[in-house]
Amino acid sequence: MCVDAGRSRLFGRAEFLGALGVAATPLLAGVAGATEPLRPSDPARLSGQLASLTPPSGLARGNAAAARIAASSRFVAKTYAATLALARSIGDRALRESVLALLDDPKPTYAAKYPTPESRAALRDALVREGFIAAGSPVEAIFPSGTEADTTRAPQPFWCAGGSGENSHHSYPGGLLVHEFFNASLATSFASAYDRVYFSNRNTIDRDTVIGAALYHDIMKTVVFQWNQDGTLFKEYPIGGAGKEDGGHHVLSGAEAIVRGRSARFVIALLSAHAAPSLGDEAKVAKWCRAAALVAGIDPVEYGLLKKNGSDYVLAPTYVPIEAFVNYLSDHDYVLSVHAVHEVLPQLQRLAPRYVVSSTNATATARRGLYTSFAWFKNDAFSTLSAIGLYQTLAGGGEGAFDRAIAKLTER
């Protein structure tokens, strides 16, 4: 959707800012080969480990800079390792391998169905005719840079993408990773609670689906939220025609799930992240299913997503699976994370003259020689310490503690 040492943070300051030379054992040796599932208890046991993050060659300049920031963050490395462990705990082999392949390379395979400029313009026009995007929207709304026909990998790694638009929740290198891991963790907790309270621990809620849907549901943010050279994020265009929840990544992620062969049940759960399929909002989910099917090039009725109801479409299942509601409930980290960003940004702006090189303060900041724009300064702070971590620093220790945390960050 948009601290004093050792206390009340996602990770301790020593862990955030400790020497990065500490041995960082990768959690998985080759994602594609990780076909055996972990036990459901293993992700928690392995959560302290680090993943080895290496920026790939050939990235656009902005994406490359973001990848360097994310790769240097212990917070991001720990979260990626924990995410891979959680994905490996999916019991269904086909879903597990699909999720792991997606985390390893979230290449927009939906784009390969439209190899020419003419086919891409035709899809844009079809979406306009159906009311899913606004007239005059550019083709780039569906096919941002990095989705060209000769694309061999995603335009950036999953672990360095932003989690939302500029200055919203998780809008920093590694933010998408943090957002999805938090959501998937909440989803397992919700599923467990429903099973415990309503179903006597009979594992009625499909744990595999809620983990997979949470990790799939925003995956095309890797394409939509790429990085400009100045550290800002690409503009996202709405797709879906259902209102304010229509960030283009949502429908594109649903289309990607369809193209990668996920079931109709799974896609409905995924596309319920922004609106629960109930209380009238099931019509929104149905619209997103239609739009995703159009992008994926399939018939939503034949696929089992929708059924005809007069001249309209409704969700195909008479009774929508509980997993769809769990995915919606788990996508609410923004309640705190957006607030944290809004509170922390003014503090970073206050400190920016100390750390950001500009034409007016180049002499003063040359001694520190750190950041060429406020956006990169902010991105490094959030990627290393997180907006929520910095918010807790303010809440627990005030501006003095906040200033010390940023000074320590810049002394690395």
- Which residues lie closer than 8 Å to 94 by C-beta, 6 or more apart? none
**Is the pLDDT reported for residue 210 higher than 80?**
yes
Q: Average pLDDT, stretch 3-11?
A: 31
On average, the pLDDT of the chain sits at 87
Summarize pLDDT for 287-331 with one digit per residue, the tens.
999 999 999 999 999 999 999 998 899 999 999 999 999 999 999
Sequence-distant (≥ 6) Cβ neighbours of residue 102 within 8 angstroms = 158, 215, 216, 219, 260
Task: Please indicate, yes or no, if residue 140 is contained in any of the structural domains.
Answer: yes
Count structural domains, the chain: 1
Taking the model in full, what pTM does it have?
Answer: 0.86
Find residue 315's DSSP bridge partners.
306
Rounded average pLDDT over 119-138:
96
**pLDDT, position 365:** 38
The residue behind tokens 């293993």 is 42
Predicted confidence at residue 235, as pLDDT, reads 94
Residue 306 maps to a domain: yes
Instruction: Work out the average pLDDT over 126-131.
Output: 96
User: Above pLDDT 90, what percent of the chain?
Assistant: 78
Say how far apart CA 316 and CA 318 lie, in whole Å: 6
Residue 281 lies in a domain: yes
Q: What is the pLDDT of residue 370?
A: 76
**Domain assignment present for 390:** no
For residue 150, being part of any structural domain is answered with yes
Contact 227, 237 (CB under 8 A): no
User: What is the CB-side half-sphere exposure of residue 324 using CA atoms within 13 A?
Assistant: 23
Structural domain for 293, as ranges: 32-334
Higher pLDDT, 62 or 167: 62
Give dist(CA 120, CA 224) in Å, integer: 16
Provide the 3-class DSSP secondary structure of residue 296.
helix
The residue ranking higher by pLDDT, 19 or 234, is 234
Q: What are the CB-based long-range contacts (under 8 Å, 24+) for 139-144? A: 140/237, 141/237, 141/239, 141/248, 142/239, 142/248, 142/252, 142/295, 143/111, 143/114, 144/223, 144/224, 144/226, 144/234
28-81 tens-digit pLDDT: 333 444 456 666 655 555 556 777 899 999 999 999 999 999 999 999 999 999
* Tokens 């000769």, located at residue: 150
What phi, psi does 161 have (nearest 5°)?
-75, 155
SS3 category, 371? strand
Q: How much is the pLDDT for 3?
A: 28
Q: Which helix (H) or strand (E) element contains residue 96?
A: helix 93-104
pLDDT digits (tens, 9 = 90+) for 88-105: 999 999 999 999 999 999
Q: Would you say residue 118 has pLDDT above 80?
A: yes
Strands (E), 305-358: 306-309, 312-315
Residue 23 has pLDDT above 50, yes or no: no
Q: Is residue 50 a part of any domain in this protein?
A: yes
Residues 95 and 99: their CA atoms lie apart, in Å, by 6
Asked whether 386 and 348 are in contact (CB, 8 A), the reply is no
Would 190 be classed as within a structural domain? Answer: yes
Mean per-residue pLDDT, 245-255:
94
The pLDDT assigned to 243 comes to: 80
- Euclidean distance between CA atoms 206 and 35, whole angstroms: 19
For residue 273, name the pLDDT band (cuts at 50, 70, 90). very high
What is the distance, to the nearest Å, from the Cα of residue 36 to the centroid of all Cα atoms in its chain?
25
Asked whether the predicted pLDDT for residue 380 surpasses 90, the reply is yes
pLDDT on residue 36: 62
Question: Does residue 238 carry a pLDDT above 50?
Answer: yes
Q: HSE on the CB side for 288, CA within 13 Å?
A: 34
- The answer to whether residue 283 sits within a structural domain is yes
Question: Mind listing the pLDDT tens digit for each residue in 106-116?
Answer: 999 999 999 99
Does pLDDT of 209 surpass 50? yes
